[in-house]
Structure 1
Amino acid sequence: MQSQELKSRYGLSLQQEACLAVRSSPAACSRCAAACPTGVLAVGELGVSLADGCLGCGRCVASCPSGALSARGYQIPDGLPEGNLDITIECWKVPPRLLAKGTHAVPCLGGLSAASLLECVLAAGEGQAVVLVDRGWCATCQAGGSAQPPVATQLEFVRRALTRLGWPQQNLPEIRRDPLPATLMPEEIPVPAEREAIGRRAFFSFLAGKAADVVIERTAPPTRTLPRSLIRQGEKTFPERIRLIAALESLAALRGVPLPADLFPAISISDACANHGVCAGMCPTGALSRYEDDAATGIRFEPWLCTSCGLCARSCPEGALDLDLAQSVDGAMHGQHELTRLPWGVCMSCHERFASRGKSLCPRCEKSRSLAADLFGTMFA
Structure 2
Amino acid sequence: MPGGTALSIDGELCVNLRGRTLSCRACATLCVSSALKLSEDAVTLNADKCTDCGACLPACPTGVFSMQGFSPSHFLHELNSHDEVHIHCSANTDKTEGISIPCLHLLDARLAATAFAAGTRIFHLPGLDHCEQCDKGNAIHHIITTQNRLTQWFGIDSAPQMIIPTALLAEQKGEHQQHEKQSPQISRRQFLQRAGLRVVASVNLCSTPAEADDTLRSQHGFNHINIEHQRPVAYQSLLAEKLTELPWVANEIPWYGRAINHECNACLACGQRCPTGALQVEHNDAGRGISFKTELCTDCGLCTQLCPMDAIRRYKVTDITEVIAPRSALMYRYHSTCPHCAGDFLPQAEDEELCSTCQKEQALESEWLGLAQQ
Class of the TM-score when normalised by the shorter of the 2 chains? 0.5 to 0.7
What secondary structure is seen at the aligned counterpart in 2 of 1:355?
coil
In 2, are the aligned partners of 1:131 and 1:175 still within 8 Å (CA)? yes
Cα pair distance change 1:362/1:278, threshold 3 Å: farther
What is the CA-CA distance between 1:106 and the residue it aligns to?
2.9
In the alignment, does 2:356 pair up with 1:363?
yes
| Residue number in structure 2 paired with 1:64 | 60
| Residue number in structure 2 paired with 1:86 | 84
Higher relative contact order (CA 8 A, sep 6+): 2
What is the CA-CA distance between 1:335 and the residue it aligns to?
1.7
In 1, are the aligned partners of 2:230 and 2:277 still within 8 Å (CA)? no
Cα pair distance change 1:361/1:140, threshold 3 Å: farther
Cα pair distance change 1:312/1:237, threshold 3 Å: closer
RMSD of equivalent CA atoms: 4.7
| Residue number in structure 2 paired with 1:34 | 29
What secondary structure is seen at the aligned counterpart in 2 of 1:273?
coil
Compute the TM-score of the two structures, normalised by the length of structure 2.
0.63
In 2, are the aligned partners of 1:28 and 1:310 still within 8 Å (CA)? no
| Residue number in structure 2 paired with 1:220 | none
| Residue number in structure 1 paired with 2:270 | 279
In 1, are the aligned partners of 2:339 and 2:353 still within 8 Å (CA)? yes
Q: Give the Cα–Cα distance (whole angstroms) in 2 for the partners of residues 349 and 82 of structure 1.
A: 67
5+ residue gaps, structure 2: 170-200, 207-228
What is the CA-CA distance between 1:298 and the residue it aligns to?
3.6
Superposed, 1:237-316 pairs within 5 Å as: 238=231, 241-242=233-234, 244-249=236-241, 251-252=242-243, 262-291=253-282, 298-316=289-307
5+ residue gaps, structure 1: 182-205, 209-214, 218-235
In 1, are the aligned partners of 2:243 and 2:320 still within 8 Å (CA)? no
Of 311, 321, 325, which aligns to 1:331? Answer: 321
In 2, are the aligned partners of 1:127 and 1:171 still within 8 Å (CA)? no
Q: Give the Cα–Cα distance (whole angstroms) in 1 for the partners of residues 161 and 336 of structure 2.
A: 55
In 1, are the aligned partners of 2:91 and 2:127 still within 8 Å (CA)? no
In the alignment, does 2:31 pair up with 1:13?
no
What is the CA-CA distance between 1:266 and the residue it aligns to?
0.8
Superposed, 1:72-151 pairs within 5 Å as: 72-75=68-71, 76=75, 78-80=77-79, 86-94=84-92, 96-97=93-94, 99=95, 101-113=96-108, 116-118=111-113, 120-121=115-116, 125-126=118-119, 128-133=121-126, 135=128, 143-144=136-137, 148-151=140-143
In 1, are the aligned partners of 2:109 and 2:147 still within 8 Å (CA)? yes
- May I ask how many residue pairs the two structures share in their alignment? 313
In the alignment, does 2:173 pair up with 1:178?
no
Q: Give the Cα–Cα distance (whole angstroms) in 2 for the partners of residues 253 and 261 of structure 1.
A: 13
Amino acid in the other structure paired with 2:358: C
For residues 348-369 of structure 1, give each alpha carbon's deviation from its aligned partner in whole angstroms, at most 9, with x where no partner exists. Answer: 4223342241223222322444
In 2, are the aligned partners of 1:138 and 1:149 still within 8 Å (CA)? no
In 2, are the aligned partners of 1:121 and 1:173 still within 8 Å (CA)? no
What is the CA-CA distance between 1:334 and the residue it aligns to?
1.2
